Structure 1
Amino acid sequence: MKKLRITILFLTFLLLTRTTIAQEAPPNIIVILVDDLGFSDLGCYGGEIPTPNIDRLAAQGLRFTNFYNAARCCPSRAALLTGVYPHQAGIGHMMNDRGAEHPGYRGHLNDQTVTIADVLGQAGYFTAMTGKWHVGHAHGIIPTTRGFDRSLYAPAGGFYYGDGKNAKLFLNGQPIENDSPLLPKNWYSTDLWTTAGLQFIDEALQEDKPFLLYLAHNAPHFPLQAPSEEIEKFKGKYLAGWEKLREERYKRQLELGVIDSSWKLPPFNPKVPKWNSLTTEEKERYDHIMAIFAAVVSRLDKSIGDLVEGLKKRHVLENTIIVFFSDNGGNPEPGAEARYEGEYPGSSQSSVFLGQGWAELGCTPFWAYKHHTHEGGISSPTIVHWPKGIPTARRGLFERQSAHITDILATVADLGQATYPQSYRDNQVIPAVGVSLIPAFSGHTIDRVNPIFWEHEGNRAVLSGKWKLVAEWEEDWQLYDIENDRTELHNRIQEYPEVAEQLIAAYKDWSKKVNVEPWTRGVKWFYDYEKAKNESN
């Protein structure tokens, strides 16, 4: 009996030890960034495009309603990767290098930053990225030199098929032919990024390491391209027009609980023609454009489903955290006319842009779009899925605390028990500005002390608690109570001048600190909004 008790005690100890080790095992991390997806373009955020796989992640995880990006693709990628503001990382605008005398506008990640891969690699993670890089390839800044063990990437996107004119791929920093036997035949980029990501995960599992996969989709960025049979599924579904469909999305958002009933739907931008003013031919053209966009989003959703199934087959889904969000709001380029070029729009040789009317739909219920610092430009649909880490009682709920794209690095470092360095590769490192979002997973308060700031092309904003100070290029400052007026309809700056003064002073201090420079030209998608708001009030 004594020997039996000793054996039982030993087995119990062994079991408890293994359980403790399992509980302390760092999670695998997948950060999914999509491109030009508007706040309402997913089914779980009120959209009509079927996205069952992404919706399932939302139902089993958390949906953030107040997650903010950096207004444009390159700045958002810089902030995500480094945990500092885009100007601090050297990408205050896009890829043009304005020289050493303009440190905020070098067009590539600088040496005073570290990436999520640098940080987690030092903590023993296998690090990989697939998809759109867009933070300085032309300047020699590539995933291989910024902490990623493996990568299959495009320098800046601009294609979906291997025969596209901008289709250039790099495998672990080296050019690879689009028809290489190392790649699937007749690949479609949305699927390719997922396939390669799972292959890199296999390498991590073989090395018995936790993994970080940064999966940076170029979908649904222009030129919008998708298989013709998938486009056909959506043709005719958008003939009701952008105003009516926007109202329907708004209604679904209220029903789902995505937004508060106090947030009224702003008037439609008067720069966009009314749907009923269009000819039958124009309506069919715009319907086809939106059908192509819907097909691209639908195929994106399929790839998310493939990723999840791949994780299940590898028995790693339970302790893998998936964070999904968009780099900016819907894309209004090149304006209300959109773009519809090529013999077969939607094919690999065509050039289709969504345009301003459908971007207005995509950003429901907010003002403005990509480029801008009003809510439509900087609000991302954001989902966190982590079976092991999100309490059962929290799954399917909305998280309404404000979060920012700079928080990603702080969060993954926290998850991976990694230390953010003060210096790296003989360079002093700019302190991270983001905060960990992990408390929000269990319903606790995020430890945010400082306001959140934005500047892009002269568009600027400050968010501090419920108050948001915002102005477009060459526009006067406005002040909004976004708890009660997230759609920015009621400017309170005359009522609360002292609040505005404090936030203006904070913005001036921040802009100087991070190397923001005066902007000399802007994109005036926005200018008739103030007129529209005044007329509606």
Structure 2
Amino acid sequence: MNFLPIACLLLALTLSLPAADRPNVLVILVDDMGFSDLGCYGSEIPTPNLDALAQGGVRFTQFYNTARCSTTRASLMTGLYPHQAGMGYLDGLKLPESKGTHAKLEDRCVTMAEVLGGAGYHTSVVGKWHLGQQNGSVPWERGFQRTATTQFGELYFPKERSKDACKWVYLDGRKVAADSPEVGSGEWYSTFMFTDWALKFLDDAKASGKPFFQYFAHGAPHFPLKAPQDVIAKYRGKYKMGWDKLREARHQKQIELGIVDAKWPLSPRPKDVPAWDSLSEEDKDRYDHLMAIYAAMLDCVDQSVGRMIAGLKERGMYGNTLILFMSDNGGNAEGGPRGISEGEPLGGPESHVFLGMTWATLNNTPFRRYKHFTHEGGISSPLIAHWPAGIPAARHGKLEHQPSHLIDIMTTACDVSGAIYPSEFKGHAILPAEGLSLMPAILGEPLHRVKPIFWMHEGNRAARTGPWKLVKKFKGPWELYNIDEDRTEQNDIITKFPAMSQHLIRQWEDWAATTYVDEWIGQVRNDWGDEIRADGAKKKKAKAN
């Protein structure tokens, strides 16, 4: 069936509708979740609400992020590559002489809230911001009419062990202590507390008579891993099967679901990850506990999604809401092979827990590497698109294999809302959006992407065009893979295709020269993402955001 006429008709109808009848847009972002961590992407963790969205919508199997927190948020919000938006790195690194690492959103970019707000949308944001608040880039001045946000994320309970900057919530720009009754009543858990605020903002949108754009940026499952103890208890003992057998099980389920091709081998267990059967019973119990906390966090995210769906239905908004669900980077291996487990009870307010490299290898099944890196494990995200009024029933439950990227979300939002992406905003020239609308892909049509997709984070680089992927770990050589044949990046073919390799390298260099990309001269990271000194020794304390 050819869906192109449907797509054209849909766009024409959207542009002709009054503002109140245009689709709502709900973007849900989770933090540090791996490619295989949802049930509908191969996981054993039950995620029934997200699985239901996938069954009623479209799942993308080759959707890409930027490998890190702030950089992904910048691309998602602006439709630009991170350096273009001013966020070439985390928002704690400001390089005055830099072209693209200014630790805040620049005036040369415009946010999705600014664009859709200008088109008559009610705009709101809840959860993690991490886009340069300390440098003057705040959500309430970048188009969001209602805000309930944290500066960095990493807030789970009203009172907990955390750095001071993580003990505050910003309600419409006002700094409010996290343990204030104004934020939430009782001993709340932030995944649910922010869901309460998200639903309040939907009520505001309904009362205004406007369609809404809401950005729901979960802190979970970012470290320090924390969750309600009763939810953690549900998963205790379930991970004593170990990462080796669970990786195989996820891989097999991914093949059965059609998420991955059976000809792509499961990437080998990294040399720094021990075989599960070699561990002591004490270590097995400890590792089981770490993964139980992580699974509990995703369980709570799925519960939040279920509450949002129920809330949309109760408010008569469900049918005409485009929901886009994704993760900001691949699974996080920081903390090394053993992870970190401090404080009692583990997962509670006073604990400090990192999942570590062992379980992150499971999170990113079947791929190589992790957050920070531009190999598939670092940059591959689930993307679920769900819109009852806009996605034909014939597309429900379908998989979409065309490569896509965060830069495409802005253009997609403009496409479905009828909003016009500006060339100028508040007296500043605005860089052209880099992405394509994903609506043709959602409807089963080609995207016709002309330019490659590019990456650069911490010196880790990549370019993707058609089946070809060029990739380089900082200080390492360029590698080339045919993703159609080898998406788990097991067979480097750069010496077999020198002309293609050189062509892609030149394209990457041209892109970097024209998009404010800085040459990376910062720290080197080891294979799990912790900083190391120039002499190869691990630093005492890794900075890990």
Pair in the same fold by TM > 0.5: yes
Q: Distance in 2 between matches of 1:296 and 1:344?
A: 15
Q: Letter of the 2:244 partner, please give it.
A: E
SS at match of 1:50: coil
Q: Distance in 2 between matches of 1:105 and 1:441?
A: 34
1:515 is displaced (CA, Å) by: 2.2
Q: Which runs of 5+ in 1 are unaligned?
A: 1-16, 528-537
Cα gap change, 1:273 to 1:94, in 2 (>3 Å): same
Cα gap change, 1:139 to 1:24, in 2 (>3 Å): closer
1:22 is displaced (CA, Å) by: 8.3
1:363 is displaced (CA, Å) by: 0.1
Instruction: Tell me the residue number matched to 1:39.
Output: 35
Residues 1:121 and 2:123 are matched in the alignment = no
Q: Letter of the 2:345 partner, please give it.
A: Y
Residues 1:335 and 2:336 are matched in the alignment = yes
Q: Distance in 2 between matches of 1:371 and 1:507?
A: 18
Instruction: Tell me the residue number matched to 2:286.
Output: 285
Instruction: Tell me the residue number matched to 1:170.
Output: 170
1:305-364 CA-partner distances (Å, limit 9, x unpaired): 000000000011000010000000000011112010102110011111110000000000
1:183-240 CA-partner distances (Å, limit 9, x unpaired): 3312211112211111111111111000000000011111111111111111111111
TM score, norm. by length of structure 1? 0.93
Instruction: Tell me the residue number matched to 1:522.
Output: 524
SS at match of 1:318: helix
Instruction: Tell me the residue number matched to 1:531.
Output: none
Alignment of 1:275-424 (within 5 A): 275-424=276-425
Q: Distance in 1 between matches of 2:183 and 2:272?
A: 44
Q: Letter of the 2:509 partner, please give it.
A: K
Q: Distance in 1 between matches of 2:363 and 2:177?
A: 35
1:272-313 CA-partner distances (Å, limit 9, x unpaired): 122222221111111100001011110110010000000000
Q: Considering only CA atoms, is the larger Rg found in Structure 1 or Structure 2? A: 1
TM score, norm. by length of structure 2? 0.91
Q: Distance in 2 between matches of 1:293 and 1:380?
A: 17
1:21-46 CA-partner distances (Å, limit 9, x unpaired): 58993100000000011000000001
Q: Which runs of 5+ in 2 are unaligned?
A: 1-12, 530-545
Instruction: Tell me the residue number matched to 2:444.
Output: 443
1:389-421 CA-partner distances (Å, limit 9, x unpaired): 001000001011111001111110111101111
Q: Letter of the 1:391 partner, please give it.
A: P
Q: Distance in 2 between matches of 1:297 and 1:336?
A: 21
Q: Distance in 2 between matches of 1:393 and 1:366?
A: 30
Q: Letter of the 1:80 partner, please give it.
A: L
Contact 1:389 1:441 in 2 (8 A): no
1:99 is displaced (CA, Å) by: 3.3
Percent of counterpart pairs with the same letter?
48
Q: Distance in 1 between matches of 2:150 and 2:210?
A: 26
Cα gap change, 1:139 to 1:277, in 2 (>3 Å): same
SS at match of 1:102: coil
Q: Distance in 2 between matches of 1:84 and 1:23?
A: 26
Contact 2:357 2:528 in 1 (8 A): no
Contact 2:333 2:528 in 1 (8 A): no
Instruction: Tell me the residue number matched to 1:532.
Output: none
Q: Distance in 1 between matches of 2:296 and 2:167?
A: 20
1:177 is displaced (CA, Å) by: 2.8
Q: Letter of the 1:108 partner, please give it.
A: K
Residues 1:432 and 2:430 are matched in the alignment = no
Q: Distance in 1 between matches of 2:268 and 2:72?
A: 28
Q: Letter of the 1:227 partner, please give it.
A: P
Contact 2:336 2:528 in 1 (8 A): no
Q: Distance in 2 between matches of 1:53 and 1:248?
A: 22
Alignment of 1:222-241 (within 5 A): 222-241=223-242
Instruction: Tell me the residue number matched to 2:84.
Output: 88
Instruction: Tell me the residue number matched to 1:482.
Output: 483
Alignment of 1:249-268 (within 5 A): 249-268=250-269
Q: Distance in 1 between matches of 2:181 and 2:238?
A: 39
Alignment of 1:7-86 (within 5 A): 21=17, 25-86=21-82
Instruction: Tell me the residue number matched to 1:500.
Output: 501
1:268 is displaced (CA, Å) by: 0.7
Alignment of 1:156-235 (within 5 A): 156-164=152-160, 165=162, 166-185=166-185, 186-235=187-236
SS at match of 1:383: strand
1:182 is displaced (CA, Å) by: 3.2
**How many residue pairs are counted as aligned between the two chains?**
509
SS at match of 2:480: strand
SS at match of 2:525: coil
Q: Distance in 2 between matches of 1:291 and 1:526?
A: 21
Contact 2:71 2:87 in 1 (8 A): yes
Q: Distance in 1 between matches of 2:94 and 2:313?
A: 47
Q: Letter of the 1:114 partner, please give it.
A: V
Residues 1:151 and 2:147 are matched in the alignment = yes
Q: Distance in 2 between matches of 1:100 and 1:519?
A: 14
Contact 1:204 1:211 in 2 (8 A): yes
Contact 2:65 2:380 in 1 (8 A): yes
1:39-59 CA-partner distances (Å, limit 9, x unpaired): 000000010001001100001
Cα gap change, 1:97 to 1:332, in 2 (>3 Å): closer
Instruction: Tell me the residue number matched to 1:108.
Output: 104
SS at match of 2:149: strand
Contact 2:19 2:121 in 1 (8 A): no
1:86-141 CA-partner distances (Å, limit 9, x unpaired): 01111111123433311211111111110000100110000000000000111121
1:450 is displaced (CA, Å) by: 0.6
Contact 1:91 1:107 in 2 (8 A): yes
Contact 1:159 1:348 in 2 (8 A): no
SS at match of 2:235: coil
Cα RMSD after superposing both structures: 1.5
Contact 1:161 1:167 in 2 (8 A): no
Q: Distance in 1 between matches of 2:495 and 2:215?
A: 44
Q: Distance in 1 between matches of 2:501 and 2:528?
A: 22
Contact 1:103 1:515 in 2 (8 A): yes
1:179 is displaced (CA, Å) by: 3.6
Contact 1:339 1:351 in 2 (8 A): yes
1:495 is displaced (CA, Å) by: 1.3
